[in-house]
Amino acid sequence: MKILNSFYIDGKWVEPSTGSTLMDMVDPATEMLTGKLAMGTAEDADRAVAAARAAFPAWSESSREERIALLERIIERYRARIDDIAEAVRTEIGAPITLSKNLQAAIGLAQLQAALETLRTFEFESSHGKSYVRREAVGVAALITPWNWPLNQIAAKVAPALAAGCTIVLKPSEIAALDAIVFAEIMHEAGTPAGVFNMIYGEGRVVGTRLSSHPDVDMVSITGSTRAGVEVAMSAAPTVKRVAQELGGKSPLLILDDADLQPAVTSGVAQCMVNSGQTCVAPTRMLVPRERYDEAVAIAAAVANAVTVGDPADPATKMGPISNRAQYEKVQHMIRVGIEEGARLVAGGPGRPEGLQRGFYARPTVFADVRNDMTIAREEIFGPVLVMIPYDGEEEAIAIANDTDFGLAGYIATSNPERARRVAARLRVGSVRINGAMLDITVPFGGYKTSGNGREYGHEGLAEFLECKSVTI
């Protein structure tokens, strides 16, 4: 059993403050206790912020070349530890080992590389006649990251914050502690100056609240639920600090009447089920022309029923368990709600898949005959649950797609590129993917409405960590 009872503050691993408690670490595939994790206090948050504040003047004045050199060293060490990272993700959140290595660990590396390339050409100063504009580091950045794609979110925040000249306090999810420890070790091995990067664990209501309300924290960047994002914004308001939020989603996939149905539905189901459905941008509402609806439902059910659910250590497994007990129980509850609301269950359903007696395993589930006012169409389930909604005509499809409190992403399937561009322009979402396109981390990512504000990735992601200063001569 592992006892993880130290935080990374001011370039050293240190013991938590008095009052720290230990939280159980549980393997989601077996429900067995695997270790204990120290949960920080407000005093730990204060120590980490103080270290970041002390390191800010020197790091904010570092040159582009110094920041490039640090990112290059981090990337080198990350590559050397990528197997350790993949194994950590498999163990802590139950992601299948193939997914853990090829996507979970790999996308963290890709985020670091993308931030490095952005930094190489980013314009920190621009001329405007007799004036010029400087873009300067915002200050101490508190970064709050989730458990579902832990390395993606850690790297997508840490790398541009470093590139901007900010100093950092990272609070990763306590559910995904193992990979974050490896990441902190990488930062240390790469020679990150003391105080520039700090990491502590703790509950959101304790450490998260202290970081977001701390007068010496200049910015908070959070990826999490809409509820958590609102709480951070409220805590941050009295100190008028910047808050960037990447929050929940209930993303629509519009399969238009000219789409090739088989690949469109197959891709949509696969994207919904990847990572056990625990992806904020997953296309969880599939909108299908009524005249093609029955065929689409049959395809979706067959694809969902073919998903291999099982031991995340097995390379043949496509879908592992839900990452923790609380989320598993929420998914089970929402499946029961869908049945009670009258949606037609065509694949999956409550309980574990056949043959799995232990672990937080959910069945890949597809509901047909869903109305957009049903709970399962309105609320983010964050599990392997797809809802299918018929529509009559393109206008109704767009109206249904936009009829949601969320606005993180949208998906379109069509054989007409110009039609895709026209429909994409009318979707109230932060990003649109067409015909199964994969995530592009060189362009901005973020949401409309309750899916958050601010942007990550690319030029805009680095700019989030900068203040603008105009100078007139």
Looking at the annotation, which residues are catalytic?
246, 280
- Give CA separation, 99 vs 103, 107, 317, 318, in Å: 5, 11, 9, 8
- Which pair of tokens denotes residue 276? 């056990």
Query: Under a CB-based contact definition with an 8 Å cutoff, are residues 95 and 275 in contact?
Result: yes
Chain center to CA of 89: 14
CA–CA gap between residue 446 and residue 431 (Å, rounded) = 7
CA–CA gap between residue 78 and residue 185 (Å, rounded) = 10
**Amino acid identity, position 269:** V
Query: Under a CB-based contact definition with an 8 Å cutoff, are residues 268 and 283 in contact?
Result: yes
Which of 269, 383, 405, 386 is closest to 330 using CA atoms? 383
CA–CA gap between residue 141 and residue 153 (Å, rounded) = 14
CA–CA gap between residue 247 and residue 225 (Å, rounded) = 5
CA–CA gap between residue 245 and residue 232 (Å, rounded) = 9
- Which pair of tokens denotes residue 446? 């973020």
- Give CA separation, 398 vs 286, 418, 433, in Å: 12, 16, 15
SS3 of 176-225: the string is: HHHHHHHHHHHHHHCCCCCCCEEECCCCHHHHHHHHHHCCCCCEEEEECC
